[in-house]
Amino acid sequence: MPFTALFVALLLGQTQPVDLLDGPELTAAIAARDAELFHVMFDLCDPAALSDLVTDDLEFYHDRGGLTATGATFVTEYGERCGGPQGPDTFHSRRELVPDSLRVYAIPGVGAVEEGSHLFYERQGDGPEHLVGRARFSVLWRLEDGDWRLARAFSIDHAAVE
């Protein structure tokens, strides 16, 4: 069998379709974990909660900064940023998932890939909130000890919103 035919046969043999009954359940589980991640990141200052949401070998890639953080460094840097100076003029950020953009794909033996688009808002102190940017993302969630944990993140296509 020629190499190309063998490769295609192996590839097709390893990509079993996901049971359609599990599709919505998987999407709901990942969507809930995604919401929890951004709640911790933007609403709380809880490095321990963030640590429970990510793998020890996390890699976070950003289209503007490259590989920006890994594992414990990601959690430590988060704790330093969110625990910084607070006051009436502090900036607050919010992330909003773009409706109907979320897609979840099972990766047998590993976990699931989540893709979507999101919008980012900021407000200073109690001031009005402003839409400041948008981006797309692709995330690998790994199932570890019954919990979904962020293992790889690609934050791409960032753009300002006018």
Q: pLDDT for 57-80, tens place per residue?
A: 999 999 999 998 888 899 999 998
Residue 133 lies in a domain: yes
Domain count, the chain: 1
pLDDT at 16 over 70: no
Of 28-32, 123-127, 140-144, the one with minimum mean pLDDT is: 123-127
Residue 67, both tokens: 């590989």
Neighbours of 87 (CB within 10 A): 6
Per-residue pLDDT of 38-59, as tens digits, reads 999 999 989 999 999 999 999 9
Q: Is residue 104 part of a domain?
A: yes
Q: Which of 13-17, 36-40, 47-51, 98-102 has the lowest mean pLDDT?
A: 13-17
Q: Does residue 153 belong to any structural domain of this protein?
A: yes
pLDDT value of position 17: 39
pTM of the entire predicted model? 0.81
pLDDT grade, residue 82 (50/70/90)?
confident
CATH code at 78? 3.10.450.50
Give the C-alpha separation, 74 to 78, whole Å.
6
Residue 140, both tokens: 């690998």
Average pLDDT score over the chain:
86
Rounded-to-integer distance, Cα 145 and Cα 105, Å:
20
User: Alpha-carbon distance 87 to 76, whole Å?
Assistant: 22
Q: Is residue 117 part of a domain?
A: yes
pLDDT at 22: 67
**Helices of type H across 44-148:** 47-53, 71-82
Give the structural domain span for 32: 21-160
**Per the domain annotation, does 122 fall within a domain?**
yes
For residue 68, tell me if it sits in a domain: yes
Any domain includes 15: no
100 domain residue, yes or no: yes
